[in-house]
Amino acid sequence: MNNKIKKAIISLSDKTEIESILKVLKKYNIKIISSGGTSKEIKKLGYKCVEVSKFTNSNEILDGRVKTLHPKIYAGILSKRDNKKHIKELFKNDYEEIDLVIVNFYPFEETLKKTKNHKKIIENIDIGGPTLVRATAKNYLDTTVLTSPNQYKEFIKDLEENKGCTSIQLRKKLSQEAFNLTAYYDSVISDYLCTENKINFPKQKTIHGNLVEVLRYGENPHQQSAIYSRNTDLNLYQLSGKKLSYNNYNDIYSALNISKSLPKNTGTVIVKHANPCGVSINKNKIESYKEALACDPISAFGGIVSCNYKITKIVAKELNKMFLEVIIGIGFDDEALKILKKKINLRLIDASKLKSKSLKNIVSSFDSLLIQNMDNEVFTKDNFKVVSKKRPTKKIFNDLIFAFNVCRNVKSNAIVLTKNSSTVGIGSGQPSRIDSCKIAINKMKKFQKIKQNDIILGASDAFFPFVDGIETLVQNGVSAIIQPSGSIRDKEIIKFADELGIVLVFSKTRHFKH
């Protein structure tokens, strides 16, 4: 069913491409109602329009807060064109049908980025715009709603093809897009007010996001997937390579979660299947990469490397020796890009603008959502307590904190072995903690040349419930261990560590990653 458009309301904060709309409306003799800055722009471009206040015979009031909220407008939008009662009521009240609404909202999201002034933010909550849009979208059988300049071309094409009318298919599609927008807009406002009121978990939760792209498929080819961002983009910039997949994004975020916790401009992380298989914070960039790779070079094959520093020509040459899916850097210099772009499928990601503060993790399953704050607090010595008689040196204490930081980003049960601020063995994702110990030890023995005087440190993401785990690590060269406290056998663990003559440090917090 095609509907003839005779009258339109236009109220825009974003006046991009407005002239393309005005031209086609003039062509089909569509009368325009408008107000404020939009009416001035319409007249400036040489087109006619009727002021809202003249159309409703009611002045704008309350500093412009009330402009379009009038029964003459909403009756004109919401009336059913094939309902005789509605037609009579319009005639009786001297109201006219309004067939087209072109509206976009006060820039609330942009205002949040520009100011922290609560009064200014509240004034940028649009009332009239979303109300117009919702009314028009509800009555899509008879009316057409446009909410973005991105829709203008499609609308103009449809209007031309149908000689001044719009098709039901277009109106229905635009209605869906309109309700998506109003839901998004309200969810941004809701989030802001929750933050203002320090409410992390409101009774109703709407999660908003902008579609970044529809992905080729999900974890497997038979699964559909897409990626959304709360921002207009991800603040991750792909400089080269194949399109990113669902699994690529999952690995990228796992790698970045560790990278962003490392000292500024320092550290290399290698991830495979969302688990780190090598991490080093050697200040020498080349050595940092080599040490991370040496932890498990077999698992690193086809993995993701995240460099917490700008990638230079020298680093690029070293990275280029290995088959990798993705390389992430805090920027790339021109020579590095020349080298790495030769591998046309290699994905290069610039993460220099990515921020990792005030984020939440969201997991969805069975039509429910699990939401939590990210486990990305920067550790200091105050987060830990030395409980053994043997005290760690300053270097060993710092290296233990490094090991524990990596450990919290490994799937539970997790054990991480380190030497000189580089991982040398990682055991992950086992139902038994002792099995994770054995895997980490086996990795270390397979890939590392451990000397008798090397200091090996061990980290566990949760407490050892029994002494067997610690015993296994110590028997294989570990001389200092860091773990959370909280076991009913903590005293036994401390006593056992003292009997073995090792350093034992307790964390005040547990760090499972499931």
Tell me the catalytic residues. Answer: 138, 273
* Count of C-beta atoms within a 10 Å radius of residue 488: 8
Contact 35, 52 (CB under 8 A): yes
Cα–Cα distance, 461 to 358 (Å, whole number): 23
Kindly write down the DSSP assignment for every residue of 215-228, as one continuous string: -S-SSSTTS--EEE
With tokens 């980025």, the residue in question is 113
Q: What is the DSSP letter of 359?
A: -
- CA separation (Å) from 84 to 80, 135, 150? 8, 20, 36
With tokens 């994702």, the residue in question is 429
Cα–Cα distance, 356 to 376 (Å, whole number): 8
280 — phi, psi (to 5°)? Answer: -145, 145
Amino acid at 193: L
Cα–Cα distance, 125 to 129 (Å, whole number): 10
Cα–Cα distance, 47 to 327 (Å, whole number): 53
- CA separation (Å) from 231 to 140, 184, 392? 29, 12, 44
10 Å CB burial of residue 510 (0-12, 13-18, 19+) is middle
Amino acid at 43: K
Contact 451, 477 (CB under 8 A): no
Tokens of 479: 């001389």
* Count of C-beta atoms within a 10 Å radius of residue 58: 16
DSSP H helix total and E strand total for the chain: 19, 23
In 6-96, DSSP assigns E strands to: 7-11, 31-34, 50-51
Strand 503-507 versus strand 478-484 pairing type = parallel
Cα–Cα distance, 233 to 256 (Å, whole number): 17
Contact 30, 48 (CB under 8 A): no
Contacts of 168 (CB under 8 A, 6+ apart): 1, 2, 3, 141
Q: What is the DSSP letter of 383?
A: G
